[in-house]
Structure 1
């Protein structure tokens, strides 16, 4: 049948379905340069202005070439034969406008791309043509629409901007930067994870849309994420647009939970969370999730363990981490380590992760106890508390933050990560600075030399309690 006559059927890939949808676009820019006409199938390939596929010809005649429709002796088209195959109107169009075949030595029929001077098609030229038709204009319109959606929670509106800007850390985007990362969607393992696949085409996403309040089928949406969202929201009222945005948001959260925490897929629960978002919006409550996640400030505990962490980093990618472990406010352990990292947020996450790993070893020896872990990195503490990794300042920290969230969940209420002001983590910061500058590491009981060099005392200072109480939400 070929590309020019193909139809979309169930079971074909999303890429093929979208290629068929773009066929009319290609017909505007692809044509045959007719030489002798022997290589051009007259009934199934674009070769004259206004060409259209026809099924009127008998099956036996559908392999007829352009050369078969031309009388080289009289240098005229076979008008009657053409009309019998594809109709009088098309026959007239061919006679008036089609290039006549010519038998010239060395000249062959050639398929040309009219958007280039050479007539040669390249992926780059095709991409630029399609983007100019589909992408840029739609992106501007959609961005304007996003800011008009005043009813949307601000962080979800920001998520929508990132989605429309193709700025989410999807597998396909990451694979462009890191060759070792696969571009394949890890949820379905069927197609690359680009924005529209993640939000609409992946099997789980399709199920969520169909089961949701809007009951949408998303199989045949445009590949471009901007066009897909505009297509869905066209003619919708504010309440329906709100449903679309919160559904996209929940799909993103579910994707992250499945990828980093191996959470089971529960479409009914997801639809309920979308409704919960809308209910809170109507009530003017702008919290992240229906689940009641405790937000700081916390009441500082005297018993149990306290782990104070911090990191140090410079533009040469040299870094250091430090943490101090206190039991009932008395210093028990000191850790400083030098390493290399691409950005400061990544090092902050590693510092917290190392503190958690050390505490896990203590739990294995002494049993489960209450632990409070302190960090001055608000982006990190809020991401862990809310179990939300879509706003992280560094994609490199994603695996580490995911592991922190997993560990925190495994200990339930026995482990808290608390944000404090920088002054509160000064001892840990001094350790991290020393590790970075001196390129040295130390793990062990607090020694006199370490404590003296870094100005560390054996107890948490009284002002530390004040820093916890004054930590911003």
Structure 2
């Protein structure tokens, strides 16, 4: 039962990954060997290497692709010394690991499983380098969220969202429903003052597609600001980590939506053209709540508004969401 306690005590690891670990150690994941035990017509062979049957420790440790991931991991595992049983292997690895090491292990296993599924279900190429980059992104995100749980005084001292007075902050968000209607919105502020907002209605294929459209729409408005000579540095804030990863890694191969590939490709090209002038980062959901309100409005009302100036209202960058209780965004 020791392994269950280790999972329950994990810090800075999202719940879905904890559930995944519970399924892994319960041996209930749809791995080829497990499926073959129930349906003999299903081949137990590993589809990544075609060298041996696919069982838990093979998927996560012994398959050549998985070995390559662990070879470059901070944990420096000696995979060849691990037990063939997944529970025993898990206990071997976690013996003496601190919370940081446990988080690395959890997210590496999670990304290995996603990478394996991409190969089996979507016939994509397994890339150990991308797996390691995604794990690093998870760890950095967990550390950032842990920082935001400090007291309000500590948050203000350290700059909760790294707000810089000389930089345009752009909050973007999108809203989508099953009828494929979508709304996008962007809120622009600088030097702790809101200056503009914009929203628009689109047709999007899925939620990720509309998040990409929201970013593209924001860039179009940023171009307008550049023409007016008002921009210096720009930071785009979104709660969509997959969009941030795709842009920073400059690749469209592992998107959650193939329909969004043309839009994401345009975004990558624009970010490359603008270089250090612009950056994008993932923030918590609450940070983009003002943009979310507008995107919902645009989707439901099927309306569009170009860049609209608002009465510049001073506010605390650490309490941005409290502005939703006022009429500041409607004062055009």
Query: Which gives a bigger RCO, structure 1 or 2 (Cα 8 Å, sep 6+)?
Result: 2
Larger Rg: 1
